[in-house]
Amino acid sequence: MSKPILFSLEHCTKCTQTKELISDKDEIEIVTFPHNFPDWDENTINMAKSHDIFEDIQKTAPILWLDGQKIIGYLRIRKWLSENKE
């Protein structure tokens, strides 16, 4: 199983709130993209495409990626975290 990844955007209130929720979860990697799509470089675009979040993250963030499964949005991520406490 791959390491969970939180994809977020710079200057995003919901992304910041989500990062605070997972601040004690070392098992979740955090990746932050520039807020404006024109500022994305080739590596950022390739990473988004390889995790199948390219279209989603241009519309809404954050996205928690769990081995191919996507949990999109602060409220859904918060719900998933509360249901999957260790």
3-state secondary structure 59-73: HCCCEEEECCEEEEC
Alpha-carbon distance values, 61 to 1, 85, 86 (Å): 23, 22, 25
pLDDT tens for each residue of 23-78 = 888 899 999 999 999 999 999 999 999 999 999 999 999 999 998 899 999 999 99
Domain boundaries, the chain: 35-71
Q: How many CA atoms lie within 13 A of 72 on its CB side?
A: 12
Please tell me whether the overall predicted TM-score, pTM, comes out greater than 0.85 for this model: yes
Q: What angle do CA 35, 25, 8 make, to 5 degrees?
A: 10
Quick one: pLDDT at residue 86? 60
Confidence band for 84, pLDDT divided at 50, 70 and 90: confident
